[in-house]
A and B are shown apart, each in its own frame.
Chain A
Amino acid sequence: MSEALLITAIWLPFIGFLFNGLFSLKKEPISQKAVILFGVGSVLLSFIIFVILTISENAIIMSKTGLGAHFFTWIDVGHLKSDFAYKLDGLSVFMAWIVTGIGMLIHIYSTGYMEEEKPHFARFFAYLNLFIFAMLHLVLGDSLPLLFLGWEGVGLCSYLLIGFDYDKDFAAEAGKKAFITNRIGDAGFLIGMFLLFQHTGTLNYDIMNKFFSENSLDTSLLNLIAICLFIGAMGKSAQFPLYVWLPDAMAGPTPVSALIHAATMVTAGVFMIARLAPVFLGAPEASTFIAFVGGFTALLSALIALTQTDIKKVLAYSTVSQLGYMFMAMGVGAYGAGLFHLMTHAFFKALLFLGSGAVIIALHHEQDMRRMGGLYKHIKLVAILFWIAAIAISGIPGLSGFFSKDMILEMAFTYKYGGSILFLMGFLTAILTSFYIFRLIFLTFHTSGDAVKKMKEAIHHHHDEHGHGHGHHETLHPLRWNILGPLVILGVLSVFGGYVGLPHVITHQTPGIVQYFDKVLAVPPTELSKSWHNHIDGGLAYSLMFGSILVAFIGLLFAWFRYEKQNNIPSEDSKKRSFFVNLSFNKFFVDEIYEIFLLKPIKKLAVFSYKVIDDKIIDAFVDALGKNTLKIGSVFRKMQTGITAHYAFYIAAGTLLLTVIIYGGIK
C-alpha cells in the first residue's frame, strides 16, 4: 500500500506534465483553470502523499534501508541491474519535502506570475511538472543510474525553462550555455559512476553501502572517484569553474530561478555527496579539495554580487556563493551542517527570488535596481518579507541562516587541513553577503529614489521595448494572494527553519539536524570525520559566533551608510567606476577569460578540423576515389561499342580461351 502511494507521489507530476504538455500543443490556449488544476494539483497531491507517508511509515523510513518500492525493471544486462525502484529514507524524505513543498509554493506563485503569458501558460506548467518529476527521481531513486536519469532530466527542464522565451536571443543562448556547461560536469560524473561500478560491482545504494561496510577500497581510488563525481556536482551545483551558467540562467522566468536555480536543482550536488557518503568520507584529500573549491566559489561570487545592478543577478551570485558554503561544509565532513544550510537556503533564497519576482511584476518587468527605490511605501508586505529573508541570509541571529552558516563556519574553523584559510574565506564571504543583500534591499525598497516615478519616465524612453502589451503603466501591477501567500509561508519558514539545528554552545548537545543525519545516512559523518577536526571549546565557539554576528551587522551598517545615508546609487556610466568596482561589475572577466582561453582555441580547432582535416584530407580522399573510378570507367567503357557482333566476338573468344585453358594441358 505505502509502496503504491510512493510510486503515485512520484508519478503524479508526470500526469500533470502529460496533460499540460499535450494541451499546450493546441493553437488555442486551454483554460488556465484546467492547467492549474493539473499543474498545481498534481504537485500539491504529491506533497500531501509525502506528508502522509512520513507520518504513517515513520519507523520504516528512518531505518537504514528506508521504504523501498519497485516499479518496473529498467536495465538488466550481465551484472548491471537497475530498476525503476525508489527508496524513501531519512535523506530522501528530507529532499522530497523540500522539492514538493517549495515546488508546490512556487507552482502556486507561478499561477500569478505567469497569468499574462496566456499562450505559454500550459507549456510553462508542463515544464515545471516535468522538473518536479525528474527531481523526485533524482532524490528518490535507489540507484545511481536513476539518480543520473533525474540529474539529466532536471538539466533538460532547466534548459527548457531558461530558454522559455525562446524568441529572445539572450534566453536561448543562456539555455544553451547552461546545457553545455552541465555536459562537461556530467562527463566527470559518468566516469565516477563507471569507476564505482568497476570496483564495487553495483550501482545500487543498499548493495554499495553493504560493500563499503564489508570491504574498503584504496584511498587514492576513492579520491579519484570522489573528484570525478564532484566534477559532476560542479556543473549542476554551479561551483567554480563551471558556475558561469547559473547567473545567465536568470534569463528564465523568476519562479524558475527560485525553484530550479536556487532551492532544488542546484543543490543536487550536495545531495549526491550526502547520498554517497561512504565514498566521500573515505576520500579525505578529495574532500579537502571540495571544501576549498566551495570556499573559493563562495568568496568569488560574493565579490561579484557586490556590484551587480540587476536584482536577479545579485541573487544568482548569492546562490552560487551559498552553494559554495554548502560544499565547504560537505568537504570538511560536516554533512549535517551542509544539508542544514541546503534547507535554510532553500527557504530564504526561494523567498528572495519570489520577492524579487513580486517586485519585477509590480514594476511591469523592470529588473534594474538603479531604476528602483522607495518601493517600501508601495508594497510593504513584500518589503518586510524581503527584510526577513535578508536577515536570514546575512546571518543575523535568530533567523534560519544564522544557525546553518554559523555551524558551517565553526566546522571549517576546526578543520585540520587548512581550516584557518577556509574559515577566513567563509568569514569574508559572510561580510560580503551581508553587504550585498542589504545593498539590494536599500536600493530596491528605500533610498530617495522613487521606482514608480522612474517607471513612468521609462515609458517615454523605452516605449518600443515593452513588447508585453501592457500599454501605459501609471501604477504598480497589483499583487494578489497567489503571489503573496507563498511569500508569507516562506517567510515563516525562513524565520523558524533554523531551530532544528540549535548550536552546541547553547543546548550543550549535538544539533538536532546533525544527529538526524548521523542516524539516517549510510555512514555517520560526524563520527567518520572526527579525526579531520580539532576539538573546540565553548569559549572559542562563542567568540566565533559573535564574530560572525558582528560582521553581519557591519555589512548591514555599511550598506545602510552607503546607500541610504549617502544615497550612493550606482552610476550607469562605466567611466565613473573605480578599478575594483569595475572588476567585480564585470564578474572578474571570467566569461571573457573562458572566451579567450577556451572558446577561441576550441573554435580555432573546429575551423582547422573543418577547413584542413575535413576539406583537404577527408573530402579530398573521397573526391579522388570518385574521380579515379570515373577515369578507369571511361577507359573500359570503350569496350561497350553497342555493336552486337563485338559482344558475340567476346563470347566466342572467351569460350575459346577457357577451352584452351581447361583442355589445353590434356594430351
Chain B
Amino acid sequence: MIISEIPMSYVLILTLLIFSIGIVGVLTRKNIIVIFMSVELMLNSVNLLFVGYARMWKNLEGEMAVFFVMAVAAAEAAVGLALVISIFRTFHTVDITKIREMKG
C-alpha cells in the first residue's frame, strides 16, 4: 500500500489514539517530565491531523500550520523545562502529587 492510498479514516483513528494516550499520560502520570512529554504527544497528534487533512484537500495551509505548531512547541518546551528545573530546585522533587501548594 503506498502512502497516497491510506484512507483518511486511518489517519483519524491513529490521531485519536495518540491524542488519547497523551491525555491519559497527562492525567495519570506523576512525574512532571513525563506529563510534559505527554503534552508533546498530544500536540504531535494534532500535527498529524493537520497533515492528513492537508493531503486530503490538496492544500498546503495545513502543512504550514504544522510548522507553526512545531515552532511554538519548541519554545514551549524550552520554557517548560526551565520551569521544571525551577520546581525541582524549590521542592526537591518532580512528583506532582507531592507539590500541593494549591490545596484548599
Partners in one complex: yes
Which residues of A sit under 8 angstroms from B65, Cβ to Cβ?
none
Which residues of A sit under 8 angstroms from B75, Cβ to Cβ?
none
- Is A639's CB under 8 angstroms from B104's CB? yes
Which residues of B sit under 8 angstroms from A645, Cβ to Cβ?
26-29, 96-97
Which one, B23, B96, B104, contacts A644 given CB within 8 A?
A: B96
The reply to whether the CB of B103 lies closer than 8 angstroms to some CB of chain A is yes
- Is A643's CB under 8 angstroms from B96's CB? yes
- Is A641's CB under 8 angstroms from B100's CB? yes
Main secondary structure of the interface of B (DSSP, over half): loop
Q: Which residue of B lies closest to A640 (CB)?
A: B104
Counting chain A residues whose Cβ lies within 8 A of the other chain, the interface size class is: 10 to 19
Which residues of B sit under 8 angstroms from A469, Cβ to Cβ?
none
Which residues of A sit under 8 angstroms from B97, Cβ to Cβ?
643, 645
Top 3 A-B residue pairs of the complex, sorted by shortest distance between their CB atoms: A640-B104, A642-B100, A642-B103
A640 to B101, CA, bound (A): 10
Counting chain B residues whose Cβ lies within 8 A of the other chain, the interface size class is: 10 to 19
A605-650: which residues lie under 8 A (CB-CB) from chain B? 637-645, 647-649
- Is A643's CB under 8 angstroms from B27's CB? no
- Is A649's CB under 8 angstroms from B103's CB? no
- Is A648's CB under 8 angstroms from B26's CB? yes
- Is B100's CB under 8 angstroms from A652's CB? no
Which residues of B sit under 8 angstroms from A647, Cβ to Cβ?
102
Main secondary structure of the interface of A (DSSP, over half): helix
Which A residues contact B (CB, under 8 angstroms)?
637-645, 647-649, 652
Q: Which residue of A lies closest to B102 (CB)?
A: A642
State the Cβ distance, B48 to closest chain A Cβ, in Å: 19
A645 to B35, CA, bound (A): 9
Which one, B28, B29, B101, contacts A642 given CB within 8 A?
A: B101
Which residues of B sit under 8 angstroms from A649, Cβ to Cβ?
27
Which residues of A sit under 8 angstroms from B23, Cβ to Cβ?
652
Q: Which residue of B lies closest to A641 (CB)?
A: B103
The reply to whether the CB of B99 lies closer than 8 angstroms to some CB of chain A is yes
State the Cβ distance, A528 to closest chain B Cβ, in Å: 82
B86-104: which residues lie under 8 A (CB-CB) from chain A? 96-97, 99-104
Which residues of A sit under 8 angstroms from B26, Cβ to Cβ?
645, 648, 652
A643 to B99, CA, bound (A): 7
State the Cβ distance, B95 to closest chain A Cβ, in Å: 10
A649 to B103, CA, bound (A): 16
Also in contact, A637 and B27, with CB within 8 A (given A643-B97, A644-B96, A644-B99) = no
Q: Which residue of B lies closest to A636 (CB)?
A: B104
Which residues of B sit under 8 angstroms from A642, Cβ to Cβ?
99-104
Which residues of B sit under 8 angstroms from A643, Cβ to Cβ?
96-97, 100
Q: Which residue of B lies closest to A634 (CB)?
A: B104
A550 to B26, CA, bound (A): 115
State the Cβ distance, A319 to closest chain B Cβ, in Å: 73
Q: Which residue of B lies closest to A639 (CB)?
A: B104
Which residues of B sit under 8 angstroms from A644, Cβ to Cβ?
35, 96, 99
A638 to B102, CA, bound (A): 11
Looking at A637, A639, A642, A647, which has the most chain B CB atoms within 10 Å of its CB? A642
Q: List 12 A-B contacts (CB under 8 A).
A: A638-B104, A639-B104, A641-B100, A641-B104, A642-B99, A642-B101, A642-B103, A642-B104, A643-B96, A645-B26, A648-B27, A652-B27
Which residues of B sit under 8 angstroms from A639, Cβ to Cβ?
104
State the Cβ distance, B65 to closest chain A Cβ, in Å: 20
Looking at B23, B100, B104, which has the most chain A CB atoms within 10 Å of its CB? B104
State the Cβ distance, A109 to closest chain B Cβ, in Å: 77
Q: Which residue of A lies closest to B39 (CB)?
A: A648
